[in-house]
Amino acid sequence: MAARTVRPAPPADTDPGMVPVSALPGVGPALVAALARLGLERVQDLWFHLPLRYEDKTRVTAIADLRVGERAQVEGVVEAVERGFRYRPQLKVAIGDNSRQTLLLRFFHFNRAQAEQLLPGTRLLCYGEVRHGAQGLEMVHPTYQRLGGDETVNVDELLSPVYPTTEGLGQKRLAGVIAKAMALLPPAERLELIPPELCAEHGLTSLRDALLYVHRPPPDAHLGQLMLGQHPAQQRLAFEELLTQHLSLKRMRAAVRRRHAPKLGGGDGVLRAQLLGGLPFQLTAAQQRVSAEVAQDLAQAKPMLRLVQGDVGSGKTVVAALAALAAVEAGHQVALMAPTELLAEQHLHNFRHWLRPLGIEVAWLAGKVTGKARKLALERVAAEASVVIGTHALMQEGVAFARLGLVIVDEQHRFGVQQRLALRDKGKDGELVPHQLVLTATPIPRTLAMSAYADLDVSSIDELPPGRTPVQTIAISNARRLEVIERIHAACAEGRQAYWVCTLIEESEQLRAQAAEVAHAELSAALSGFRIGLIHGRMKPKEKQAVMDAFKAGELAVLVATTVIEVGVDVPRASLMVIENSERLGLAQLHQLRGRVGRGALASNCVLLYQPPLGQLARERLQVMRDTNDGFRIAEKDLELRGPGEVLGTRQTGQLSFRIADLTRDAHLLPAVQQVGEHMLKEHPRQTGQLIERWIGGAARFVHA
């Protein structure tokens, strides 16, 4: 790309990107509110709201040619309709086409009008994911439209982007408003924030072209490449996003490290000794080493910014508790934040168990605490509680800590950087900033760690406590699903407990929940006599907790779950896990999930159900899972295998919530990102700020603080 002369950026008031979305034609208050829920407030937010994936409605597939696992568009005539009420309302619609095969459409959520419209003889054009059902091929909740008797099918000319969205805002409407925003895209050189000489040096193509391409891929676009996130347009955007991430972390670190923190050391260590004395085990050497590193940081007058990484089950919690004691002993408060309520409650349980005997009060604060209880909790937080545990509710307005000395964030990769920033912001009043300890179970190779956590120092717990029985893992084709269910039956009969994990990666929690509901119905029917629980992200916190409690108490034999149980859940008695569609998950996520079993002394098993035929990469991944339980080896292998990229799910499983970048897939960009980043921090502070504002938006406020 040719170098251009640097033009001064236009003042903000003429920058179309800064215009509020409400200024776009046809965008009324309801739409503004829906967009705000997605964090889309200005026109530029829409430019950078990038597709999750693409749908190919440019052709119609004959039912006979459908392949399981693929998304396809099918045209057919309704042959039979059945409304069932066995477990819950269900509408089954069989359609047939010229290929003389039948496809079943299944709906769990439908209204009467809908059911009445789908009569035999109706022509439909539907789009959805093809799966194996009890009666052959099926689609669960396809999108569809009715066609007139002789209406010709109009296929799309372009691939349709699928955007992350929110309830009440359909893809069509969202795409429409994004198109309106795209019409305001300024000329290339005004959009570009990376200086032209750096673009030239690193071969970065036009940002404008890249945006136009990803929002509206041309008719000849390569779906495969787009799905993999490897199209040059996507890579250009990924570069900029990684760069921004890097810049923001570096800035933040510098800003925080300039401040002062309370010295949390020099106590007599009585609390620590008491806690250790009361544990039924001794710390591993790795736990001791990491704990000492943390203690040393805490004793400084500069805020600690430390990441503790350690494999699933390596015992990070007790290391966190020891750090908390140092703060409490020095008369400061500790906040512990977990990404899910489920996990936060477990921490509450553990910390109360450990700290109550030492006379230390542990308060609870999460989203579900409301009304009076919330007010009371807030007052306690402000005044007295030594340790406060909760979810991101901890960051909400109104939570003011009196003497916050240490913030602990568990399972970091589930939090966006934004949230990490917001909590760090909490202790800002007055002079002192709290120390920060971040725990993650995602072992990441060093180069990646340097980028993902450019603001943190890293300690590793590279040893598991003794006496763990490794989980035996096998991979089984979904064709043998009934055998697997048999096996669960036998295990339950022996009093064992099992997880059944549904892993559909969908753009909405609703579709994921539906998949779990289908599996729940299936297992309930097959395992009569045993109680089967269901947990997914659409349930109310209270319901989730009730189900978790029942499973913990052994009242449920099987827990059917979405990947909500991925992090931190600790039910040592559960010793069997089945993961559906395991071929679609990345190694990191499979390892996390499997880490839910093998926690006690019981010999545990993990069954990786897969949908044949397996691609080469999927085959290798499943092989790795069978071969090893070692998180670090798995992480290395992951990087090696994912070099060429991953079809789906990488964005959801990435360590940070990126819009388009994937740290593993795009690792090859990191050296250049670091170089460009260094240069920009020094020479182009204004553009650096604008990049952060563009990609990270609201959180940028904290970075500048």
CB of 435 to ligand ADP, least distance (A): 20
Tell me whether the omega of the peptide bond preceding residue 613 falls within 30 degrees of 0, making it cis: yes
Answer yes or no whether residue 339 interacts with Mg ion by CB under 5 A.
Answer: no
> Quick one: what does residue 287 bind among ligand ADP, Mg ion, none, with the CB cut-off 5 to 8 Å set by partner type?
ligand ADP
> Quick one: what does residue 318 bind among ligand ADP, Mg ion, none, with the CB cut-off 5 to 8 Å set by partner type?
ligand ADP
Q: Residue 128 or 631: which CB sits closer to ligand ADP?
A: 631
CB of 466 to ligand ADP, least distance (A): 7
Answer yes or no whether residue 568 interacts with Mg ion by CB under 5 A.
Answer: yes
> Quick one: what does residue 283 bind among ligand ADP, Mg ion, none, with the CB cut-off 5 to 8 Å set by partner type?
ligand ADP
> Quick one: what does residue 177 bind among Mg ion, ligand ADP, none, with the CB cut-off 5 to 8 Å set by partner type?
none
Residue nearest to ligand ADP (CB): 315
Answer yes or no whether residue 303 interacts with Mg ion by CB under 5 A.
Answer: no
CB of 464 to ligand ADP, least distance (A): 9
CB of 317 to ligand ADP, least distance (A): 3
d(CA 24, CA 28): 9
Q: Residue 242 or 597: which CB sits closer to ligand ADP?
A: 597
Q: Residue 554 or 612: which CB sits closer to ligand ADP?
A: 554
3-state DSSP: the chain helix, strand, coil percent, rounded to 5? 45, 20, 40
**Contact partners, residue 190, CB within 8 Å, separation at least 6:** 7, 9, 10
DSSP readout, 654-672? Answer: SSS--SS--TTTTGGGHHH
CB of 393 to Mg ion, least distance (A): 19
> Quick one: what does residue 549 bind among Mg ion, ligand ADP, none, with the CB cut-off 5 to 8 Å set by partner type?
none
506-509 contact pairs (CB < 8 A, 24+): 507/52, 507/53, 507/162, 507/163, 507/164, 507/165, 508/165, 508/167, 509/536, 509/537, 509/538
> Quick one: what does residue 258 bind among Mg ion, ligand ADP, none, with the CB cut-off 5 to 8 Å set by partner type?
none
Q: Residue 74 or 324: which CB sits closer to ligand ADP?
A: 324
Cross-strand pairs, 77: 96, 123
CB of 495 to ligand ADP, least distance (A): 21
Q: Which secondary-structure segment (H or E) carries 241?
A: helix 232-257
For the sheet with 362-365, list strands across it.
362-365, 387-390, 333-337, 404-409, 435-440, 305-310, 457-461
Q: Residue 311 or 329: which CB sits closer to Mg ion?
A: 311
Task: Using the structure block, give the residue that is written with the tokens 């008719």.
Answer: 219
d(CA 536, CA 514): 9
CB of 310 to ligand ADP, least distance (A): 5
CB of 345 to Mg ion, least distance (A): 13
**Contact partners, residue 231, CB within 8 Å, separation at least 6:** 213, 214, 221, 222, 225
Answer yes or no whether residue 595 interacts with Mg ion by CB under 5 A.
Answer: no
Would you tell me which residues interact with ligand ADP (CB under 6 A)?
281, 283-284, 287, 310, 312-318, 441, 465, 570
Binding segment toward Mg ion, per CB under 5 A, in 357-365, 469-477, 564-572, 653-661 = 564-572
Rg (CA), the chain: 26
DSSP readout, 628-659? Answer: ---HHHHHHHHHHHHTT--SSSHHHHSSS--S
Q: Residue 17 or 568: which CB sits closer to Mg ion?
A: 568
- Binding residues for Mg ion, how many (CB under 5 A)? 1
Q: CA-CA distances (angstroms) from residue 288 to 275, 319, 444, 632?
A: 14, 8, 21, 20
Residue nearest to Mg ion (CB): 568
Binding residues among 117-176 for Mg ion as defined by CB under 5 A: none
Q: State the alpha helices, DSSP H only, in 133-231.
A: 171-182, 188-191, 196-201, 207-215, 223-228
CB of 287 to ligand ADP, least distance (A): 6
Cross-strand pairs, 607: 474, 578
> Quick one: what does residue 104 bind among ligand ADP, Mg ion, none, with the CB cut-off 5 to 8 Å set by partner type?
none
> Quick one: what does residue 570 bind among ligand ADP, Mg ion, none, with the CB cut-off 5 to 8 Å set by partner type?
ligand ADP
> Quick one: what does residue 473 bind among ligand ADP, Mg ion, none, with the CB cut-off 5 to 8 Å set by partner type?
none
d(CA 687, CA 190): 12
CB of 428 to Mg ion, least distance (A): 28
Residues in contact with Mg ion by the rule CB under 5 A: 568
